[in-house]
Each structure stands twice: as C-alpha cells, then as structure tokens.
Amino acid sequence: DQQVKQNSPSLSVQEGRISILNCDYTNSMFDYFLWYKKYPAEGPTFLISISSIKDKNEDGRFTVFLNKSAKHLSLHIVPSQPGDSAVYFCAASVSGGSNYKLTFGKGTLLTVNP
C-alpha cells in the first residue's frame, strides 16, 4: 500500500513559468512533510518542509502548500529555472516515537525548458 503518492511521473514547464508538483498521502498520522530534489548521479537534497500546524511554508522561489482535509500537498516553484530540472520527491513523517522514518513518494521528474 503506497502511503505517499506522486501521481505525475513527469512535468515539463517553460522557464519563468510556475511549476506545481503534487503529492497525496493516505496515512492520517503523517504530520510533517518534506520535499527533496535529486539531480542525476547525486543524492537527494532537502528543499523545504512543512508541519501540519501550518498550511503554507515559503522559502525564496519555493512554496509548499498543505491541505490536511484533502491529504494533499503541493510544491510551487516560481519562477522556474532550467537549473530546477531534477526529480522531486515528496516525503512524510509522523512526529513522536517514529520521527526518524520518512516515507517517500516515487518522485516527479521536472524539466524546465529554456
């Protein structure tokens, strides 16, 4: 049973436009969410996170939105740049005793075209 779902394997956008990457989860116990970016031949790098007590977190060009009732989060990148082309993983965790465990989605390949 896949608890974190990224239903779009790939996304292509033009430079300067907005990129929206989506993530759905099924486990209502998840209360902390993270986005990672991965370039080829490199490990994933942490991008941005959000706690369930918030519905929005912003860091420069990156904003994560959380809709708890819909069990849905999204990552917005504005404006998109060619260097943003990478695989983006959504991950979720439960605070408390199992706070070490990250459950990852399958990833979305973002391509930003010049």
Partner 1 sequence: DADVTQTPRNRITKTGKRIMLECSQTKGHDRMYWYRQDPGLGLRLIYYSFDVKDINKGEISDGYSVSRQAQAKFSLSLESAIPNQTALYFCATSVGGQGIYEQYFGPGTRLTVT
Question: Can you give the binding site for partner 1, defined by CB under 8 A?
Answer: 4, 9, 32, 34, 36, 41-46, 49, 51, 89, 93, 95-96, 99-107
Q: How far is the CB of 70 from partner 1 (least distance, A)?
A: 21
Q: CA 24 to CA 16: how far, in whole Å? A: 26
Sequence-separated (6 or more) residues with CB below 8 Å from residue 32: 49, 50, 51, 52, 92, 93, 94, 95, 99
DSSP conformation letters of 42-77: S--EEEEEEETT-SEEEETTEEEEEETTTTEEEEEE
Q: Nearer Cβ to partner 1, position 67 or 95? A: 95
CB of 3 to partner 1, least distance (A): 10
- Which tokens is 102 given? 């990250």
* Closer residue to partner 1 (CB): 15 or 72: 72
Residues in the chain: 114
Q: Shortest distance, CB of residue 14 to partner 1, whole angstroms?
A: 26
Nearer to partner 1, 83 or 100 (CB): 100
Nearer to partner 1, 88 or 112 (CB): 88
